[in-house]
Structure 1
Amino acid sequence: MVEKIQEVKDVHLIQGKLDDVNKLIAPYKLAYVSPINDCVPLEKNAHYMEKSTLDRLTANVAEDGFLSQLPFAMKRNDGKYLILSGNHRLKAAIKAKLEYILILYIEEVDKDKQIAYVLSHNALVGKDDAQMLKEIYSEMRTIEAREFSGLNGIQFIDTDKIPTVSINDGDIELTEMKFLFTESRSNDVKAVLAELEKQKISANSSIVVGSYEEFIKVATEVKKKFNIKSNTVAFARMIDICKAFLLELKEEEV
């Protein structure tokens, strides 16, 4: 009984210290909470983790005795914390029998903003169930929330062929453009461009190979068609279209 009282005092002491920090990091806040009693996992979560990965995460958490990456939550009006990002870390903490964990949270926001937070965080790493992701995305009603999620719906639209213009690159004035991709995405882009260079240009299909003006024209059409604002996302979408085009070529050859 004495140990239990001391534990409660320690928790209150820790949270008191965190409250001082919270004054400096608003609108975000830190909380020291029970993963079982204080936290609520998402009912719908498109993000998934294979059992072997979850088991490994649980073993690491059990060995460390804490979470090295903080779950991100929304504090509900009932005082519970809805975990928007880090549901697998929460599950690992519970399986590892951690009594308390540190989380980062915001105060309650509307449903659209909740979903936007979930999708924007999950878009950074890991794997998603495509059908579940589509269902969650469709629940957002405002364009602002969909833009905040970082998805813009481009993953859920069927790819159409976009006509481009064949040009002679003998005397082209080059303009440098920079796009920022993850290493894996960058390798994918390089592979597609390398494969395109091997293709013969037919009368029915052509490729923009060097004109800045033509590239911008096509990129603009892509941005309009798929409601994209970022040049990097537009270029990535163009690469995806090219991949689909190359796949069709291979299927025709078979």
Structure 2
Amino acid sequence: MAERLEPPKYVEGDPRTLTLLDVNARYMPYEQFRQLVTNIERDGCLTSAPLVWNDTESARRIVLSGNHRTMAAIEAGLERIGWLEISEPLPRQRQIALQLSHNAISGQDDPATLKELYEELESVEWRQYTGLDDKTLDLLEKVDVAALGEANLDFASVQFMFLPDELERARNAFDAARAMATADERWVAGLEQYEPVLDALETSRAAYKIGNSATALGVILAVFERHLGELAEGWFDAATGEPLRAGVAPLETVFGVRDVPVETAAAVRAAIDRMVQEGTVPAGEPWRVLDVLARSITP
């Protein structure tokens, strides 16, 4: 059995003087790391201490546990942090055992208690601070997301899971928005749009007190649907009554709705058929009936 360690001492210093592990089994997805940096910036300090071994032979202080906290503290601009330091000689086997035990033996949350405590947080900001996600809160029964190794990448991935009917609504909403510009099926957005999207999701969650990201997005889409007509600003100058560009415009942005009552649709369809038979509008361009309507009411 391994000998007892001497109690570590609490030491403060510049995190930049510490040596990080070359091989670290613990990974942290980019989004989690960014949240850790944000939390440290907000607190102005580390609220949990890394474990450091003072290797006197190499004159290095090696971080055995807390590598991500140390890196985040550096990125957050902290000049000093506190850590627990072991000064006695440590064989390589003991170093690895300490590292792996700190990563693996971390306890588990009782789901019911965790959910109860989380729901006590009324502020969206504090909910985000916890770093808990849908999977942790058991709001999604199954999440299949490929593990992300640590890398300093200038992008972040956002994934949503939809039921079939929700997916169709999402496609329709994004199709209407995308009609104003070109985009592909992946719905790619600029990095500078990432934070506003998160803000919108968090506002939706707070307003309806929900935790599921897909449900929150559904709320955003519902609000979007109620404001379809405002997308006309992409092609219509309300002051002059003239188009702002060439091309086509979605009918939803003309009428502000996707659907009309079947009685209205039937009456319009019948009127179009009559005008096509009379030769008033071309058979291949039934939408020209709108031109006829516009001319008939233009002063």
> Could you say which TM-score interval applies, normalised by the shorter chain?
0.3 to 0.5
Greater Rg over alpha carbons, structure:
2
TM-score by length of 2: 0.33
Relative contact order (alpha carbons < 8 A, sep ≥ 6): 1 or 2 greater?
1
